[in-house]
Amino acid sequence: MGWECMNSCGNLSPEPHYPSITMLPKGTSSSQDTKKVIFSVTGMTCAACAGSVEKAIKRLPGIRQAVVDVLNDKAQVLYYSPLVDEERIREAIEDAGFEAKAIEEESNETSSQICRIHISGMTCTSCSSTIESALQTLHGVQKARVALTTEEAEVLYDPNIVTCNHLMEAIQDTGFEALLISTGEHISKIELQIHGIKNEQSLNAIEHSLHALPGVETIDIYSHINKITITYKPYMTGPRTFIEVIESTGSGCFKAVIFPNDGGREARRQEEINRYLKLFMWSLAFTIPVFLTSMVLMYIPGVKQVLDIQVVNMLNIGLLLRWEFATPVQFIIGRRFYIGAYKALSKGSANMDVLIALGTNAAYFYSVYVVERAAFSGHFKGNDFFETSSMLISFILLGKYLEVLAKGKTSQAIAKLMDLTPETATLLTHDDEGNVVGEQQIDSRLIQKNDVIKVVPGAKVASDGFVIWGQSHINESIITGEARPVAKRKGDMVIGGTLNENGVLHVKVTRVGSESALSQIVRLVESAQMAKAPVQKLADHISKYFVPMVIVLSFSTWLSWFLAGKLHAYPKSWIPSSMNSFELALQFGISVMVIACPCALGLATPTAVMVGTGVGATQGVLIKGGQALESAHKVNCIVFDKTGTLTFGKPVVVTTKVFKSMSLKDFYEFAAAAEVNSEHPIAKAIVEHAKKIIENEQNHPWPEAHDFVSVSGHGVKAIVGNKEIMVGNKKLMADNNIAISADAEEILAEAEGLAQTGIIVSLDGEVAGVLAVSDPLKPDAKQVISILSSMKIRSIMVTGDNWGTANSIARQAGIETVMAEAQPEVKVSKIKELQSCGYTVAMVGDGINDSPALVAADVGMAIGAGTDIAIEAADIVLMRSNLEDIIVAIDLANKTFSRIRLNYIWALGYNLLAIPIAAGILYPSTRFRLPPWIAGGAMAASSLSVVFSSLLLKNYKRPTKLNRLDMNFNGIKIQ
């Protein structure tokens, strides 16, 4: 039952408060050499970010205290200067993924806002890094993240200094297209089209009326299409109110409807797919004649003679045709590569466009040189490479088309979530007495808080809320991963987007727009897919030097083969009959330039993280980004909270023994009639259990209780139906001289041994029965602990409950190491002790009072109900509250990280293998060489292979060992 590592590691316990203080060297006073520094930390958006910063700082030696203020973007650190310095602390914060700068304590606080921008035209990590750098240099930008796979930027900025327009201009200056998606958090947006507008004054009147509404943030008017865009706080107002205000303005001559949806993200994705397909088809149309005249038609008698007809000197028809067809491919269809290369080079970086532009230009302009020489010479014979440049561009465009198609599949999880909300909803109207007097079909985007909607069998729930009438079963699998339909009745919460299976429900709406569970899940998954895993730093570091290194290698390859040819270092027989030594060297140089692929490296991590987090969301496991995935796969110790984690979190009646000759129904009728007047959790448990036993529990009237008395800490007394009822513990019975039989004493003793609370019910001075109330262990807990043990993961329980209950629950669950009566700060100190012993620790808690421990752990896992998914302190949210999802989270993290490693091995291995082959390392022994157009195809194939490798994660299946879990929840016995 001990903490073995405490003995092996020595006295490493932090001070018993949070944030913790590291022990200083012996003989050092607490103030000696202790310094304070305040950092401005940019990029933090929630408590999870603050936790990451705090963890990063506290792992350094000599840190006495670290307090992170997420609201003001500050971190205050007390440290022991001989062990650590200010620069090392700053580096630790930046290693955690945030920007840090030491500031004066009096520095002005800044406000911050988030906006999301869609960026089109990015091809590799060099592009995203260029955009990130451009945004970071803007005054007022605190943090910028650019995701290559989702083609989006998330920018945290000070709206008092810089605007969204400035951000988009900065992106466009780098050579990419920018489109604003959203600004701010917890703000909804609606677009309305207004009919009946005759002049500018009408729009001004409407704008003035809307601005007067509480909760309206911004109004943008597009007068040329009569569109108005409103951003608003959904808990204060809503779109139906806007329509009513608009239609009541101007004597009712205006009519407002929701502006036709443009399809958003999917429309942009489809537009990009169509653009690449169109470019490829045009490129193919011009490239096929070039290919035929250079490699096919020249072998057909008669046609060859026509192609060889000389126009001017040695310039023949075939060469002229190839020049004419290759030129549009090079400069019109391939224009995007020139633009991308120019923009990248002008910003001091280099990307894939630079490699393509250099490679195709080398082939094209050498061929133009051949044309010129042929036109002005009567004896020159040279070979052109027009087919190389045009076929290279065609293959690269084909590769980009396939890559965009594949990348679109990696974000299908978000697309599916966003498509869950039904298009329409049935809105109910009630009279003053609460009776339904009317219903109407409305657009689901017009639903507002406190509306009552009707959900029929087979329909989706249009918004979050609670049931006020009806009973049914809801399929929540798409949101929580729970395969079995969940019973819903009056008072139960329902989640928007879930499917109603049988009965009719009336639901009162509590959350709409960005507040809804579905929106929060989408936001969490999007944020996770934006966040970079620490392992991605390797790719980002390599990408900075990759393109310049490839250019140097390419030039070195050409120069080496060219000099070798001039110096006759290899036999003339090595040179193909169709070219000379210069042309052979040029082909090797171009092949090296175009076969190297920075894209594969850049896509290795984000595509796997995107698919992994998306799969997790469909399994009811929300993983907040690559860092959480990377940490989760290293976990070898899990600390469990007890209440609400290993147990259900609320008392229930687990055993009943009736001694009098009366029915169980009558027994509970008396007990519940007395307890219904009490607010004690045990009393509520007895009443709830009575409802399950007595039929028609929803409308069952309990007998009236008179002379009700609550005896604090002992129980209740009342008169029910002329009988004196007492429900309570042994002390209550002893104080009222009620004898307890040996049988009752035996049951009470047994309950106490099982960490249950024994409750005695007496009628007219005699014991009528005994109840045992407990917060029972979840039925899957023991098997989950056993499976974790088989995975070499240590399980520990830390709880604030008493030792007796803690030991009993631990025995039932199969946990050997227990810490009871632990306050939140003690839980933190125990986690730190485990970390100091070399464990990678996951903390599993309810995400509320366990938040300090969730932050302190390497991986915080929050047990959350379906609608309680915004638990910011946790790295992973288990939406179903099932312990088996801990195993799913760890297993999915292992699978995803293994896929990332495989992607890196392939991407790095491809380049390490392909570049030497393209450079001609096999040519001396085998005469094998890669023509540039084949090298270009191989480059495109490498990116595709990485994306398809990540897509294989979509086939993820839960571990088979979970199928053997006994999920029998009916473990309550009645005697």
The tally of CA atoms less than 13 A away on the side-chain side of residue 916 is 8
Shortest CA distance to 931 belongs to which of 664, 576, 683?
576
Report CA 712 to chain centroid distance, whole Å: 48
Rounded CA-CA distance 791/959 in Å is 12
- Helix H, strand E, coil C: the string for 141-208 is EEEEEEECCCCEEEEEECCCCCCHHHHHHHHHHCCCEEEEEEECCCCEEEEEEEECCCCHHHHHHHHH
Count of CB atoms situated within 10 Å of the CB of 975: 10
Shortest CA distance to 294 belongs to which of 319, 315, 316?
319
Q: Which of the residues 73, 641, 801, 875 is marked catalytic? A: 641
Name the residue type at position 856: A
Where do we find the tokens 């979050």? Answer: 464
Helical (H) or strand (E) element with 732: helix 730-735
For the chain, the 3-state helix, strand and coil shares in percent, each to the nearest 5, are 45, 20, 30
Please give the full DSSP string across 873-884, using - where no structure is assigned: T-SEEETT--TH
Please give the full DSSP string across 491-516, using - where no structure is assigned: T-EE-TT-EE-SS-EEEEEEE-GGGS
Rounded CA-CA distance 191/267 in Å is 17
Rounded CA-CA distance 154/133 in Å is 13
Contact (Cβ atoms closer than 8 angstroms) between residue 407 and residue 607 = yes
Cβ-count burial 168-186 (b if 16+ within 10 Å, e if not): bebbeebbbebeebbbbee
The tally of CA atoms less than 13 A away on the side-chain side of residue 701 is 3
Contact (Cβ atoms closer than 8 angstroms) between residue 607 and residue 149 = yes
Name the residue type at position 469: W
- 701: preceding bond cis by omega (within 30 degrees): no
Q: Specify the 3-state DSSP secondary structure of 956.
A: coil
Name the residue type at position 134: A
Rounded CA-CA distance 730/758 in Å is 8
Residue 735 annotated among the catalytic residues of the structure: no
Q: What is the 8-class DSSP label of residue 378?
A: S
Active site residues: 641
